[in-house]
Chain A
Amino acid sequence: MIEIQQISKSFGKLKVLQDINIDLPKGACIALIGPNGCGKTTLIKILLGMVFPTNGLIHINGKSINKDDMYRAQIGYMPQIGRYPEQMKIEQIFEMITKLRTSGNNIDEELFTAYKLNEIGEKKMRTLSGGTTQKVSASLAFLFNPNILILDEPTAGLDPLASEILKDKILKEKNNGKLILITSHLLSELDDIVTHVIYMQEGKIRLYKSIENLKTDTQSQSFSKAIANLLKADSHD
């Protein structure tokens, strides 16, 4: 569904991404992990068109993304830290984004309702806590029923209950055949959800495997253990 071909990105002398080549298939739930500064966020920003790659091409559903901005209609994005116009009320944000994306009537308000955002619609974004802002971001990402979901540290800042609601939603959408790309530091959180894992380090892809393969290769029971083993092996090299 997403083909990333020879993507490189440098900020001045700093090479953030070096020659990334991966295909992300439909129906997969992919964990994008790696240490801080490994290039995860940059890769996501490139996918979203916020950052332009120095080299390389990205195709989504066979179409190059630098030709038509409308490809973003297929993507729901939940940023790590949501930044919204401070003066706007929650309902205004939803109204505005809904106006901008007239793609269809296919609106999914499940999270919006589950998080009871309609009850606090009058509140201004400035007054919201980090957790509530994340709820807004999550609800917005799923609102338009997109084929691709990009979630940057989705559970960070959410309380356990909200976190569970979000995980359930992610599972549900995965089963609906959507491509889900998640970055997270908390490996244990992803255990039940992810089907594939991408491990990045210093701007390169060190590993891209399905969970089954990973578990067999490292002889581990859980995903987080498998990664832990992998990291150990890596540091021995």
Chain B
Amino acid sequence: MIKMIQLVMLDVVKNRTVLAYLLLLSTLSWSVFFLEDSSTKGTLTLLNLMLLMIPLVSIIFSSIYIYNSSEFIYLLVSQPVSRKTIWISLYLGSVSALIVALFIGLGIPALLYLPLSIALYLISVGIAITATFSSFGFLVASAFRDKAKGIGVSILLWLFFAILFDGIILLLIFQFSAYPIEKAMIVVSMFSPLDLARILVLIQLDVASLLGYTGAIFQLFFGTKLGTIISAIVLLLWAVIPFLLSLKIFTKRDL
């Protein structure tokens, strides 16, 4: 298994897309820190970038990676290696390559320029998003044989979580503006890994008090140890469940 993961990682690291991703991330994050004079603003800009780039790159990269590795997978499957091992290795290999890129590109500047706790928060949230959207990519690639269709679905999934979901939340808020919906909104935010990640970081920054009463309710939940643990578990589930689904499909699938 470890050998397999190493093999995949080497393969992914050599991939030019990952290198480009790394360069893009580091260019953006260094320029953010050079341009923004306040660290809160810097964190917010960085958070924005993360929420835009990481999911898009993770989902598209991992699904295309699986499609382009069909030969590799074909070769591996005829060897005495279980499909489970192959799939998990592909996942861990590609995710860890993306995380390495994330850490070098974004993590290092964040650690240098931001307070330690906030930098760690940003990095862990980034890792969680990478893992989640890579899982989505794997799920799409295992469910659709056709590459073009799969990439299309990946982009749609990204659009949904990055943009449409928030549109729906906005509608809900205005639809139910007569009711105290703050607590319900905590639950709703759990349905989008990106919203959850964003709120977790926002709560850490002192902008939280901008959120007014809503923010206070959120602070009461996400600010506590229990809330942090619950949201960490939910983020983890967002990464694990789609991957397990894809694993199930892949191990049962005819090649």
B14 contacts chain A at the CB level, 8 A cutoff: yes
Contact A99 B71 (CB under 8 A): no
In the complex, the chain B residue whose C-beta lies closest to that of A146 is: B80
- How far does the alpha carbon of A75 sit from the alpha carbon of B78 in the complex, in Å? 9
Partner-A contacts on B (CB < 8 A): 3-4, 7, 11, 14, 69-72, 74-83, 252, 254-255
Within 8 A of B (CB), among A79-124: 79, 83-87, 93, 96-97, 99-101, 103
A71 proximity list for chain B (CB < 8 A)? 80
How many inter-chain residue pairs (CB < 8 Å) link A and B?
A: 60
In the complex, the chain A residue whose C-beta lies closest to that of B78 is: A77
A-B contact pairs, 15 of them (CB 8 A): A50-B74, A50-B255, A51-B255, A69-B81, A69-B83, A77-B78, A79-B74, A79-B78, A83-B71, A83-B75, A84-B71, A84-B72, A85-B71, A86-B71, A100-B80
Contact B79 A72 (CB under 8 A): yes
Contact B80 A52 (CB under 8 A): no
- With A99-B3, A100-B3 known as contacts, the answer to whether A50 contacts B70 (CB < 8 A) is no
Q: State how many residues of chain A have any CB contact under 8 Å with chain B.
A: 27
Q: How far is the CB of A169 from chain B (nearest CB, A)?
A: 19
Selected contact of B79 from candidates A51, A79, A101, CB within 8 Å: A101
A49 contacts chain B at the CB level, 8 A cutoff: yes
Q: How far is the CB of A92 from chain B (nearest CB, A)?
A: 9
Contact A50 B71 (CB under 8 A): no
Q: Taking chain B's interface residues, is the majority helix, strand, or loop, or is none over half, making it mixed?
A: helix
Within 8 A of B (CB), among A37-89: 45, 48-52, 69-73, 75, 77, 79, 83-87
In the complex, the chain A residue whose C-beta lies closest to that of B4 is: A100
Q: Taking chain A's interface residues, is the majority helix, strand, or loop, or is none over half, making it mixed?
A: mixed
Interface centre among B69, B75, B252 (most CB of A within 10 A): B75
Contact A84 B7 (CB under 8 A): no
Q: How far is the CB of A185 from chain B (nearest CB, A)?
A: 22
In the complex, the chain A residue whose C-beta lies closest to that of B69 is: A85
Selected contact of A85 from candidates B72, B79, B82, CB within 8 Å: B72
Selected contact of B82 from candidates A69, A79, A101, CB within 8 Å: A69
Given contact pairs A50-B77, A72-B79, A85-B69, enumerate 19 new A-B contacts (beta carbons under 8 Å).
A11-B254, A48-B77, A50-B78, A50-B254, A50-B255, A69-B80, A69-B82, A71-B80, A72-B78, A72-B80, A72-B81, A73-B80, A85-B71, A85-B75, A87-B11, A96-B7, A99-B3, A100-B4, A100-B80
